[in-house]
Amino acid sequence: MFLVLLCCSSLSKPSITIISSASVGCCTQAGTLCIIYTVIPSFTLHHFRPPVVPCATRFWQSGSSLVHLPFGTYSKNKKQFRHKMYSTLLVFHSLIRWVVLAFLLYSIYRAFVGLVNYRAFSKTDNAFRHWTATAAHIQLMIGIILYTQSPMVKYFWKEKESNFQNLELTFYGLIHIILMLTAIVVVTIGSAKAKRQPSDKKKFKTMLVWFTIGLILIFVAIPWPFSPLSGRPYFRIF
């Protein structure tokens, strides 16, 4: 940065002198009026302009500071994050199926006992009806996320004409989601219809019929180790 010194006196013409900021103290002279203006050359503005970040380079948040990552590191970390998220959700999806099956089996049992013994539809029965449908909906949401991120599903829809001949790819790309969606719809309808039935007997009967159909569909759609469609372990670990 430079300073422009305008010197005026009664005996001489005004003159303009460019000085540095270090020589400002030497500008006091007797009978001279000194007016100092600050000038910032255009190259100094360019010098302090923030650097342009390439489109493939990103700033990654690390604690309270921004760490500039090299070229391609952001996309690599993004892929690693997606893979980790997919693996974690896959474990939860495998575990929650047991929760859904447990709720369905116990709700069917309570509906059968209540229907045979002519019991009253209690608050506990209504709570299991509600939480069975809720657990099924949570499982469905996780399943939809996994379906959109699954590499097998993406590969299946990329070349679906030839992949239809592969039973395992067809199972995960089409059969599994269709059966599960149908089962969740059946469970949801059964839960809603049972809630609105006028008598306790009809509530138990509605739960028994609709939840049993949903359980059968879910059982077929699960990739059990013994399934002819596709085999997966009973439990997944992190």
Are 18 and 81 in the same domain? no
Residue 182 dihedral angles phi and psi, to the nearest 5°: -65, -40
For residue 194, what pLDDT is reported?
96
- Average the pLDDT over 65-77 and give the result: 50
Whether residue 55 is contained in a domain is answered as no
Arithmetic mean of pLDDT, 66-75: 48
Supply 16's token pair: 């303009």
Q: Are strands 15-19 and 2-8 parallel, antiparallel or unpaired?
A: antiparallel
Is residue 28 a part of any domain in this protein? yes
Q: What is the CATH number of the domain that holds 175?
A: 1.20.120
CA distances from 207 to 120, 191, 215 (A): 14, 7, 12
Q: What is the DSSP string of 20-58?
A: -GGGGGG---TT-EEEEEEE--HHHHHHTSPPPPPTT--
- Single-letter code of the amino acid located at 117: N
Looking at residue 237, what is its pLDDT?
Answer: 78
183: containing domain: 77-221
Q: Is residue 81 part of a domain?
A: yes
Q: Is residue 63 part of a domain?
A: no
**What's the chain's average pLDDT?**
76
Find, among 169, 200, 175, 186, the residue nearest to 100 by Cα: 186
Q: Predicted confidence band at 161 (pLDDT cuts at 50, 70, 90)?
A: confident
Same structural domain for residues 100 and 18? no
Residues 137, 211 within the same domain: yes
Rounded Cα gap, residues 148 and 182, in angstroms: 18
Are 212 and 140 found together in one domain?
yes
Please tell me whether residues 116 and 204 are part of one structural domain.
yes
**41, 121: one domain:** no
User: pLDDT tens digits for 110-155?
Assistant: 999 999 999 999 999 999 999 999 999 999 999 999 999 888 898 8
pLDDT band at 211 (very low <50, low <70, confident <90, very high): very high
Q: Give, for 3, the enclosing helix (H) or strand (E).
A: strand 2-8
Query: For position 180, what pLDDT does the model report?
Result: 96
For residue 166, being part of any structural domain is answered with yes
Beta strands in 40-158 (DSSP E): 59-62, 65-68
CB pairs under 8 A, 24+ apart, for 91-98?
91/236, 91/237, 91/238, 92/142, 93/139, 93/142, 93/143, 93/146, 94/232, 94/233, 94/235, 94/236, 95/235, 95/236, 96/135, 96/138, 96/139, 96/142, 97/139, 97/218, 97/222
Domain assignment present for residue 52? The answer is no
Q: Are residues 168 and 98 in the same domain?
A: yes
The answer to whether residues 119 and 20 belong to one domain is: no
CB of 21 closer than 8 Å to CB of 3: yes
* Strand 2-8 versus strand 33-39 pairing type: antiparallel
- Give residue 118's region: left, alpha or beta (phi > 0; psi -120 to 50): left
- Residue 165, pLDDT > 70, answer yes
* Residues 38 and 81 occupy one common structural domain: no
Whether 160 is in a domain gets the answer yes
End-to-end CA distance of the chain: 60
Is 70 exceeded by the pLDDT of residue 23?
A: no
Query: Same structural domain for residues 122 and 208?
Result: yes
Indicate if the pLDDT at residue 92 is higher than 80.
yes
Sort strands 33-39 and 59-62 into parallel, antiparallel or unpaired.
Answer: unpaired
> What pLDDT score does 6 carry?
43
- Please indicate, yes or no, whether residues 96 and 28 belong to a single structural domain of this protein: no
The answer on 17 and 94 residing in a single domain is no
* Total number of domains constituting the chain: 2
pLDDT value of residue 236: 82
**Mean pLDDT computed over 97-114:** 97
Q: How much is the pLDDT for 128?
A: 96
Mean pLDDT score, 11-23: 44
DSSP, collapsed to helix, strand or coil, labels residue 230 as: coil
Q: Is residue 34 part of a domain?
A: yes
Give pTM, 2 decimals: 0.65
**Crossing angle of helices 200-221 and 73-116, rounded to 10°:** 140
pLDDT at site 36: 42
